[in-house]
Amino acid sequence: MQLVLALAASAFTYQSVWACSGHDHDEEAHVHRRAPPSTHLTAPTRPLVWSDVNIIHTTDSHGWLMGHQKPSLPEPYYSGDFGDFASFVSHMKKIAEEKDVDLLLVDSGDLHDGTGLSDGFPPGGVDAHDSNKLFDQLPYDVLAIGNHELYIYANTLDMHTNFAPKFPGRYLSSNVNITIAGKDGKPESVPVGSRFAKFKTRKGRRVTSLGVLFDFTGNDKNTTVQKVEDMVKESWFKEAIHEEPDFFLLVGHMPVSHDNWPTVFNAVRAVHADTPILILGGHTHIRDCQQYDGRSIALESGRYMETVGWLSADLDERNHKKNITFTRRYLDPNRVTYEFHTTRSNRTFDTSLGKKITKGLNALAKKFDLSSLFGTAPRDYTISRDPYPSNGSLLSLFIEQATPAALAINNTRADIPNIVITNSGELRFDVYGGAFTKNDQLTASPFADTYLYIPNVTFGVAKQVLPTLNNEGANEKRSLEREQELYARGDVSMRYKRWLEEMDRRDGQEKRAAKNLTLGYVTKDGCPGIGDDTMHSPLPFFSSPDFVSSKPPNVTDDTPIDLVFIDFIADQLLQVLSSLGSGTNYTEADVLSYSPTLSNAVLGLYAQEAWN
């Protein structure tokens, strides 16, 4: 069973109803996941500003197409599913035609790895293959590849073979190639999608578009990612930007702050000093906006379908050297938001495409058995809204209770004292009180890491590993080097958490104490005006260490124990362990497999034991 939301026609409140995951749409009413009767969603503060060119933007959706289904705030604000979004886009397209302006739909990548819809496929399947069949039904004008499309070659091949052809010439991978068998049977490196696109809008505006990925190093073999600084030197790039369009639309899986968008921007500006440049970025999961000059804007629109970005640009100004008037908005994706901006009621909002997609989402959830129940969580457990350690910390639950319990199942070494170490980035989303399902398990912990161990490490040495791993961060240079390495491999948790921390520090306690706003994102970016569409108070934020461990066993320092850890941190842990003065230089040869249980199964196994 799954929660379903429905919006009352005249009031912005939700009512409670239950329906099975395969529920079909009624011709007269749209049935959705509903929050409890007490949940009241605040409406947007003002209408959107329409200009000559307007863009609806998504990024880092990571399979979150069913909408956020939990009743705990702020989840209901992100409760619109992809069918709702499809209906929203359809209505906005009609409004654009009525206003006789351009409206483009753009996505900046990362469709894989995040929920059961993308990751819950049976053995032999390919991540996001089925969920992408629902995603590709929307009329996207330009899309860019993300790093999560590149971790596994089979996923990249699926995007090249099955997804890119659904958007001929518009799925862009300017600096990303895949190696496939050529016509002669020999290996050939080709773009996953297309290098660039040139097209005209409905109003006849000429557009040149690129799709750029940040300098990612974690891609699988037989895929290549060219450095951005090298890409802009390529002859194809120079030829692509040589002819002046009415505007450049630069789309890419690269954050608009603290990365290489200026490299691409400056390369274009060197040829076209005044041509409008619109940039749609992604990757760091935050809401952000920057202007590199008065005739450009760069927008990043969050993560997990918690944000739909809106960008408008007044491009018909005759003075081509004058600053352009831009507006941007970060929309909370729910039916209150969608109906407000389309001036539709609950009865007139749903389109045939929207109904079809929602029906397809429910059917896929049923096919993957995503509502399969492991147990009932007694409360909310959060990654950063509760301090670590604490009863409400998901990190505490995961490493101190769930992991030891899951690894002890059918394990011949369960009676040998141990310490289990993992990185805090292993957890990706909060666990909310109530039903804990297969979908919740994949959402909270999607990474299928294996557990390894080194036997016969004396406890006196083993207990030093965790503080040494974490204290490496006390050295500013080492900390920066580690963050840069993890970032290059695709880890954005540090940047996202820093954004949450700054948001809370700015005015979190004051705004929450006023109790006149619900929890959510409160954005401060580099563009003028207020970007958030709906006003909130910031989420509480508590920092946590980079690495966490199970509770140490009650043994003496000279007792040999098992040092257990996930494979993702193996190299770093071996270096640290070798440096602790035991006289042993530990290598991969000392490492053994501890359990067939993978990290993404831990919470489900624990829930079956503890939450039933």
Mean predicted confidence (pLDDT) in 373-395: 98
CA 84 → CA 30, 360, 532, distances in Å?
Answer: 10, 13, 20
Superfamily of domain 373-493+543-610: 5'-Nucleotidase, C-terminal domain (3.90.780.10)
List pLDDT tens digits, range 326-338.
Answer: 999 999 999 999 9
Spatial CA neighbour of 313 closest among 299, 293, 328: 328
Residue 31 has pLDDT above 80, yes or no: no
Which stretch of 26-30, 57-61, 495-499, 597-601 has the lowest confidence by average pLDDT?
Answer: 26-30
**Per-residue confidence (pLDDT) for residue 473, from 0 to 100:** 62
List pLDDT tens digits, range 419-478.
Answer: 999 999 899 999 999 999 999 999 999 888 999 999 999 999 999 999 999 987 666 777
Domain pair 2-367 / 373-493+543-610, same fold: no
Mean predicted confidence (pLDDT) in 79-83: 98
Residue 263 has pLDDT above 70, yes or no: yes
Identify the H or E element spanning 98: helix 82-99
**Per-residue confidence (pLDDT) for residue 20, from 0 to 100:** 31
In the chain, what percentage of residues exceed pLDDT 90? 87
Are 174 and 238 in contact, with CB atoms under 8 Å apart?
A: no
Query: Can you give the residue ranges of every domain in the chain?
Result: 2-367, 373-493+543-610, 494-538
**CB-count exposure of residue 23 (10 Å: 0-12, 13-18, 19+):** middle
Mean predicted confidence (pLDDT) in 179-191: 94
**Per-residue confidence (pLDDT) for residue 318, from 0 to 100:** 64
Strand pairing partners for 196?
210
Over the chain, what is the mean pLDDT? 92
Mean predicted confidence (pLDDT) in 278-303: 98
Give the Cβ contact number of residue 525 at 10 Å: 22
Higher pLDDT: 27 or 436? It is 436
Say yes or no: domain 2-367 is CATH 3.60.21.10: yes
- Which pair of structure tokens corresponds to residue 342? 């389309």
Residue 302 has pLDDT above 70, yes or no: yes
Q: Could you say which DSSP state residue 230 is in?
A: H
Residue 120 has pLDDT above 60, yes or no: yes
**Per-residue confidence (pLDDT) for residue 405, from 0 to 100:** 97
Higher pLDDT: 611 or 475? It is 611
Residue 522 has pLDDT above 80, yes or no: yes
Are 539 and 520 in contact, with CB atoms under 8 Å apart?
A: yes
Amino acid identity of 373?
Answer: L
